[in-house]
Structure 1
């Protein structure tokens, strides 16, 4: 039920926020951004230190360069001729969380400064003034996230005198992460099968350590276990199962900590991995064991709460309105009374026996799911919402339940007859057995509430999942208990009718919303190609269930019906196998974000460059990736000739990419360029690519050619 509540709450908040954004004059400004300078003037040929000043509203945050779940802030400059801009100098980030305390990534809150350095041309004239402009873009989040942007500008006078300093920006510069080579710091990183280890020896005592990775192969949401004693520490860093760690990777990022005075500081780290014995010798932290970590620190851990139990009971109550349960509700209570006569004690005993049967059936289901979960953990699934395979399976299950409620297919209709037959049993034992079997045969049409319970059972610890199922069972049995105590209330029950089928179909839509939410989670865990496979698998699942439904209709007969069922089952299996999230191949190309500055830098280094202008909505681009960039020949060529692969992602509007396409007289993607080693104009490639076309273009662009 937790998923149900979460989805509905997020959907409502998102709708209200979008309404506020779309209505004229109601645009919310949760982050105010402006450009400020560390110096009052600029000297010709000298650097000018600026900063993007960002004031966040309470509970709102923006993101660091490795955001986690989110997008980093960007500055796109519009500078006068001769000026150049360097990359943002990122301050030490913090762990940002939503209102529920879940870790959402790495970023900034309150007042923050993002310093950036510009280099002025030497021909500036003292006494003049320059206008510096940029487009700032960021993602701002609280419970929901929305993109933010601002046109920022600054006019700076040119002077030959030493400029006056701005205290706030200078303080921000002083607080930037210090280099790991600073006096007194000793650090070493090791790589194990189950994760990474960072050993630290500092010049002074430190507390509240956290390592913010610059690369995505280190998980941002799983807690880091830390052994900390004064000026020495040992951090165990978990790997992200959805990301591939390159064989030649280094440990890059920022180690954040609080010093003895409580000041928040950071150390910039870029370490090669060494053997454990060498690391212990270098740093001397072998005696530090990892400290136990509180489960509350894990934003992904789901804890049982009163809200979950309340909605579990309500879900059990609403189960009684399903078409295969409601018609027998009153009949079962009347049966209790007829068997017991006017003896209220016996009526209550029948109701309690029936409730015990309901409880036993739900406990059996919870036990079965617990066994499956343990088996899944042995297979390495993890069974939590941080696991892409688990989220994928849960999305398939939710979609299947939703389509069942929508009437695409039916299950369990013959079994429902068994429930009706149980009305003839007598005695307390019969009531117990009736409650147990009637619940089991009713489960096929109780999907909207057993589906969230299934999610809770797999995500919560075993004991807590049993509590959730117990709450659902008590909710289902509650009307029987109340009506047995107050039998006159049976007359107030509405008559069974067409309204039950309408209600059942209406209950499908919260499940469709749950599927949408799970796909959003999956989008943050999978690479583009794997996410597309998962989405297509959901479409295949729908087709398979439709085929199954066609073959199991009451009027379906003979070989055609059996063929439809068999085809449906085959399509269902194909859907699961084709969309199953797998770890990406270790030799996939490593793409960098395109920028004209990066192209110039790589050309100055003499490297060949391959630029792919692409977008997620471009079908031809996706085919090119499948056909070309997954080719072992292309990957080997890129690696052997040190070809830099740059991706210009046009999925969202980007004026810089648009301008570059216009410069080449293009207005659409795909568009590919191969720059030769040592400089020179690039070679344009056709829209539809093959490995031979790409290799031929690279041959022409690379003087040494193909080996």
Structure 2
């Protein structure tokens, strides 16, 4: 008997002597009453306290025990780190007698997905091994456990119960209970050396939104999974796992706010019966590269990049006819009228310069994206409209352009420069270039079909992907310029100059003023009403100084105008409302503030959740709101008792919203998704909404009364 005990101890040294006693015993057939407590029984679970020993042997210091839980079909409970939502088991031992310590051990979890959320835990049945240390070896004892267990299926039910098991002096082992505990103990993760494994590298991506790791194991991998733990509030998405020989590479998106790397990291890896525990993992400075076949990967990457580039060209072309690009179209039309009387060569070069202006802005945007990503800043399409100083600069340009078109003043250049520009060879090329660049600037707050796919690919890809995709977007946006450059004769089909052009100038000035009014509204959401009022006032003074009324200032005119322009950038410094508190996020009592953790709770209660990610600077979002979301039949559906409309306001930067978009592979807005009992992972909608698209998504998600609501 002594030799058997020594062998068992050696075979289970990672779990301890108490569990070693159980590790070599026969298969489970149900514990006997002597080795188990009275069970807790509910409609969804059964739980009992079991021990391998029938009694406490003389001088025994340890007990091998476990809490065995059996769950009904479709019900699950959680691991020590539950994932994005959920709660781990909690057990206290008040009322126990002769118990010095109880070590609660967790078998390796499985991954399950509910309501689009990643969770770690157990289904069907689980036994939590317990290593019990007696205060007085050999003396009678009693285990009394107060258990809090969260059990979830379509809904979540917290269960609280007590289990108690008295143990009198005695000898003997209950083979069934010992086998049950031994099986659970064999699933408890152990040190990597036990399985010939070692951590090669672990690091965060530059922006702190993903964890990347590499682990080597002699003999390779079959069906691995990774369960990370990094602080109490860090949640991870589905890992991208790749295996090459003995090497495993994994990247796990961080679904909560980006982390800094200061949080403690622990990794659990599973592969069949293998369960590896890596504790106190130190992060490296650089994320490991994934294993891949260089030749095959390069060929497939080039093909994929070419296809996405074509999609980007199409997305850029469609931007020309989006409702938010009306001022851009007016600028293009005005430049075409100006070029009508020029020679074909001048028209061609002028429109090529405008196309170059579009591309120059796109390249500047790509460079800024790469620089921001290198500094760990979240990036996305149109995010420059979250910057108040960028908005003020646009407002200043629009104010001057509009006043100029309205005839309040003419911007005079030095006589020598005007003489040179009057020649057919060099006239207005700088203006043509600026027209194209400004058109691209005003197009960026828009989203369009195909644009989201291209931007998502670029933002998630390599630097070369960003450069190619933004270049393709610029080519698509510049196609009207390139078309006229290729066929300058198209200019002849425009109306002949006349008195109508004066009226057109005022119309174009009005359009630019409307754009400026919209930007002021955006500025209110970004920097607050006082900043918008200050900016509007100083820009009005700037226009007044440049007008004939301001001409009386003579020499002081230029410095006063410069002072007014500088003053426009001196935004009042003070607290501004967060997106959750801003008026736009609560424009109607029907909309609730975005809370990602609230989505699965509402879906579990049978509700349909409609998420609208929007911003004041997104005109496509405003069009969706005015034309679809605020009109029947969609408005009535969103107001029904079974639907929760949830709005995420991205007017000002939010890492939480950026991470949410990234989890869907999106980096721009508008973005809408519908969750429900029949669509727990969510149904993403296209950028341009229609009543039919939204109604169908609500129906697919499980809104049963939709047929009645739309009749």
What TM-score, normalized by structure 2, do the two folds share?
A: 0.43
Question: Taking CA–CA contacts closer than 8 Å with sequence separation of 6 or more, which of the two structures ends up with the larger relative contact order?
Answer: 2
Q: Please identify the structure whose Cα radius of gyration is greater.
A: 2
